[in-house]
Amino acid sequence: MKRTVWAFIALALTLSCNGPSNTHDTPADPSAGSGSQSAESGAMRDAADSPDPDFDPETRLAELGIDLPEAATPVANYVNAVRSGNLIFLAGKGPKKADGTYITGQVGTDLTEEEGYEAARLTAINQLAVLKAELGNLDRVVRIVKVHGMVNAAPGFTNQPEVINGFSDLMVAVFGDRGKHARAAVGMGSLPRNISVEVEAVVEVRD
């Protein structure tokens, strides 16, 4: 009797270990499909990096009636731009006019908000001139990533964002969605040479 019971238990254990294993689906290989996902990601990156044939920054500049000046020579111990990887860091520039002079004075006392806006727009043109000198063609710009705008502001003046819109609006007008960026717009007690606006930027580019 004991032998029969032990034989029955052994048989039951064997069936419980081996029997159900063939009733379950084989788990999917986690690496399956990774090749297609990789290819899809690569295609998305290529699409993001491809120039938009319907939006040419050089054409937009012509449509806006803007002729870029020569990139200004730095006035101290620095360079106009430094490239690291696919990013270009633009040194701060101000509202330099065609005659070589700058728009100066504090916004809120010497200049109105609207005049400050125009100073920021002129600063944008000067930064575009630097980009053009660095890249040869503005269509190599992938994205205006970050803008840091500084306004020579009178005490109590708080509309720095509206002033720096002069810079931001032109970036979007020239580059479309590629011109939309993160930004800071801050007031300063003074700026070098009493210029009204200074703006630096970070730009993503392609080869």
61 domain-assigned = yes
Whether residue 195 is predicted with pLDDT greater than 90 in this model: the reply is yes
123 domain-assigned = yes
pLDDT, tens digit (0-9, with 9 covering 90-100), for 121-171: 999 999 999 999 999 999 999 999 999 999 999 999 999 999 999 999 999
Please report where in the chains the tokens 């009797």 appear, as a residue: 1
Give the residue with greater pLDDT, 7 vs 74.
74
4 domain-assigned = no
Where do the H-state alpha helices sit in the chain?
2-18, 34-49, 57-63, 113-135, 160-175
End-to-end CA distance of the chain: 86
115 domain-assigned = yes
180 domain-assigned = yes
159 domain-assigned = yes
Whether residue 29 is predicted with pLDDT greater than 70 in this model: the reply is no
CATH number of the domain encompassing residue 200 = 3.30.1330.40
Residue 62 belongs to domain spanning = 57-205
105 domain-assigned = yes
CB-based burial of residue 128 (10 Å sphere; 0-12 exposed, 13-18 middle, 19+ buried)? buried
Confidence category of residue 58, pLDDT binned at 50, 70, 90: very high
Confidence category of residue 36, pLDDT binned at 50, 70, 90: very low
36 domain-assigned = no
**CB-based contacts of 200: which residues, under 8 Å, 6+ apart?**
89, 90, 91, 92, 93, 147, 148
Number of domains in the chain: 1
